[in-house]
Homo-oligomer: A and B are copies of this chain.
Amino acid sequence: MKDIYVSDLMSFDEGKPFDCFFLVLTKQQRSTKSNKPYLNLILGDKTGQIEARVWDPGDPRIAKDFERGDLVKVRGSFSRYEDRAQVKVDQLRKANPGEADKMDMLPATRRDVGELWADLEASVASLANPDLKRLLTALLADTALAQAYREAPAARQLHHAWLGGLLEHVVSLLGLADRVAAHYPLLERDLLVTGVILHDIGKIRELEWESGFDYTVEGVLLGHIQMGVVLVEKTIAGLPGFPDRLRTLVLHMILSHHGKLEFGSPKLPMIPEALVLNFLDDLDAKMQAVASEFEKSAREGKAPDEMTGKVWALDQRQLLNTKAWLKAGNGE
């Protein structure tokens, strides 16, 4: 585990040297006005990002072979230029295997991933429909896929944009789905649960999180809905006797979960379970955005009487923290 994080650097005295592991998020060749080449880096860990400069790239203490996505050990010092924090890099080498943990280098869920995974497995175990159960069991039996499912963020920037974010979002949805399925007997509960677990599974291929969160080229051209459909389709092809109709319904759940054509779903929800999945997915993403925004306002020291900033995920709406506002008003 790291000793020093990006968030710690901000309080450092200027000029004081330190050693620290980072993930290289960007690496660019640049020149000064006097045409002296230097390296401009963006280094990150799970607490944030910081700009860094290698003024003498030819220095033997600066590794030649590192790239975007590498873990590196840096010796440097901290400075500020017009409110912009910067690291001056004196030494830099690639981290040795085991020296640093990638999970420390990108923002990650605050939940325990093992517990979340156990929740997911409990949901699979709870299925009464044998075909859906063997479909999910087969998928999650692929250890590489299961590992990716545990790591993947739910998005590059919006809701749950951190390692483990996909799993965290799915587990929250599983809780909601069970509550809502109990409320509407019309719903085929097992199909809804299956849809929750599979709806975003293509994100483990659409996104990559080795070197920051980004889309793969295949992800940009095909999209996670499509990639999820192909993945599930292939798994089903390996399950003899899987009912055709059930296959169609499961694929329809994935295809339609964005709820509108203009949100990238090529089909609107046309079965009740797909309708509910779209609602709950949207609600959970928005509730997470609300919670994040309230945390951000608190971090920024906003008074309870102030609305939050404009929230991208809610059409640039501003929000009010009901509980905080009511509490602040009690003494009035």
Contact = CB atoms under 8 A, between A and B. Distances in A.
Interface in A163-184: 172, 175-176, 179-180, 182-184
Contacts of A63: none
Interface in A225-253: 225-226, 229-230, 233-234, 237, 243-246, 248-249, 251-252
Interface residues of A, number: 75
Contact of A320 (B225, B270, B323): B270
Nearest to A329: B245
> In the complex, which of the residues A14, A265, A315, A329 has the most CB atoms of chain B within 10 Å of its own CB atom?
A329
A128 interface: no
A221 interface: yes
A164 to B, nearest CB: 19
A267 B229 CA distance: 15
A14 B307 CA distance: 38
A315 B270 contact: no
A320 B217 contact: yes
Given A183-B176, A266-B264, A320 B287 contact: no
Contacts of A182: 179
Chain A binding surface, main DSSP class:
helix
B271 A320 contact: yes
A241 to B, nearest CB: 12
Nearest to A294: B186
Q: How many copies does the complex hold?
A: 6
A326 B245 contact: yes
A294 B272 CA distance: 11
B221 A322 contact: no
Contacts of A273: 322
Given A246-B326, A248-B222, A249-B221, A270 B233 contact: no
Interface stretch (A1-9, A42-50, A88-96, A275-283): A275-283
B217 A319 contact: no
A99 interface: no
A220 B326 contact: no
A312 interface: no
Contacts of A287: 184, 186, 272, 275-276
Q: What 7 pairs between A and B have smallest CB-CB spacing?
A: A179-B179, A245-B329, A221-B252, A266-B266, A271-B322, A261-B262, A33-B80
Given A186-B323, A218-B248, 16 more contacts: A33-B80, A175-B183, A186-B291, A221-B267, A222-B252, A223-B255, A223-B267, A243-B329, A243-B332, A244-B329, A244-B332, A245-B329, A265-B266, A272-B290, A273-B322, A275-B290
Interface of A: 14, 33, 80, 172, 175-176, 179-180, 182-184, 186, 188, 191, 217-218, 220-223, 225-226, 229-230, 233-234, 237, 243-246, 248-249, 251-252, 255, 261-273, 275-276, 279, 282-283, 286-287, 290-291, 294, 305, 307, 314-315, 317-323, 325-326, 329-330, 332
